[in-house]
Amino acid sequence: MNEELKAKLWAYYKSLKADGLKANHYLLAATTPETNPDIWKRFLMEPDVSEYINQETALLQQAEFRSILLNTQRDNSAGRAQLINAMMGVNNKTQKKEGPVIIYSYIPLNAQQQKADNINILDHDPFKQ
């Protein structure tokens, strides 16, 4: 890919801001009449462009995680714990996990959960025999 075309595509791509990160090569080609999907595909596969996309995506993901975490700060439900666990799993894809991990935790029930018919409160450790 020649530098002039790459610079032109790069300027257009950056002007899209976060919307550009969601766009594929077909969509980008549809928004720029003088290009085609193959040109955009080659552009998106350029090492520096690919690295830029990965860094921007990671930053947006981390910001979204913080936003979700802070917006659910007063929620003590099991759903919040599951959400945090799932989000941490997304952020820690590259970590190598070895062996089984058991995490004991206590999550207090909210008023609605305490009155529910299907709640079973244990007074012993179910994993110990």
Q: Which residues contact 117 (CB under 8 A, 6 or more apart)?
A: none
Q: What is the pLDDT along the chain (129 residues), one digit of tens a residue?
A: 899 999 999 999 999 998 999 999 999 999 998 899 999 999 999 999 999 999 999 898 888 888 877 776 666 666 777 777 777 776 565 556 677 877 777 778 888 988 888 887 777 877 776
Q: Does the residue 120 lie in any domain?
A: no
Q: Does the residue 15 lie in any domain?
A: yes
Q: Does the residue 115 lie in any domain?
A: no
Q: CA–CA separation, 108 vs 99, rounded Å?
A: 29
Count how many domains the chain has.
1
Q: Does the residue 109 lie in any domain?
A: no
2 is written with which tokens? 């020649």
Q: Does the residue 52 lie in any domain?
A: yes
Q: Does the residue 112 lie in any domain?
A: no
Structural domain of 26: 3-100
Q: Does the residue 123 lie in any domain?
A: no
Q: CA–CA separation, 62 vs 100, rounded Å?
A: 27
